[in-house]
Amino acid sequence: MNRRGIIAVVLTRALAALAVLLTPYFAGAAPAASLQGLGIVFLHGKGAWPGGFDGGILSALEDEGAQVAKPEMPWSFHRRYAATYDDAMAEIDAVVAGLRAKGASRIVVIGHSLGANAAIGYAARHPELVGVVALAPGHLPEADPMRSFVRDAVDRAKALIAAGQGDVPQTFPDMAQGIPLTATATPRVYLSMFDPDGPAVIPKNTVTIGRGAPPVPLLWVAGKLDPIDRRGPDYAFNAGAKNPKSKYIEVFAGHLTTPLVAHRQVVEWINSL
């Protein structure tokens, strides 16, 4: 692992430990409502791990009776990038089926960063969800600077797929919160994640959510210190916020600390569904 990778791992683990220590100060009293019969799927962000940066939200929901699943997604620290965006949707399907088999009759999907992107994508495909929570949404392949940064790589991936090499791993550029990275992936997987017209485009998926009958309730949480906050609700939230329970909130936090700072608001919103 290079120096940047070591620093990233140390920082993320330190913030995770801090979240555990500070959670009691943000949690407050548990809401009176019971969440028996509710299933929660939490999707972590890029380079993270199952349950990474949940801000203590999951333990609070479990304390109220919700069943929680924390799958390791294809963009985790260990799996990155192991499957296409659509394959990830199928993995979430399997997790949801497991929760339903355990008695969960209602499902809420929560995601952080790239996981929030995927949670929105999943809600666009599953209008039966009770709600979707997008914490510090990230990974915007249709928006600069990512679009310009990976343009040549996207074209190369398309050419490799056309040449019959779509499943041969290659090295491609990647980006996380404006930081340039490299990643190894097959052209097919890479294109599914970085194509500006592909399945991982948040605004396209929120439009689909908004057309649902009824639309899935959407909670969008942006940290004031996170670049996504500058895009505001017009970027994607407004197109999907057609359910009266949908809500856009801002908290004074950065990308990694948004779930922790928004802990209480998220738990209260889920209790209101």
Over residues 120-174, the pLDDT tens digits come to 999 999 999 999 999 999 999 999 999 999 999 999 999 999 999 999 999 999 9
Q: In this structure, how many other beta carbons lie within 10 angstroms of the beta carbon of residue 128?
A: 10
The three-class DSSP label of residue 57 is helix
pTM: 0.89
Residue 16 pLDDT > 60: no
Task: Provide the CATH number for the domain formed by 3-138+200-272 in this structure.
Answer: 3.40.50.1820
| Ranges of CATH 3.40.50.1820 domains, the chain | 3-138+200-272
232-266 per-position pLDDT tens digit: 999 999 999 999 999 999 999 999 999 999 999 99
20-68 per-position pLDDT tens digit: 444 444 444 444 459 999 999 999 999 999 999 999 999 999 999 999 9
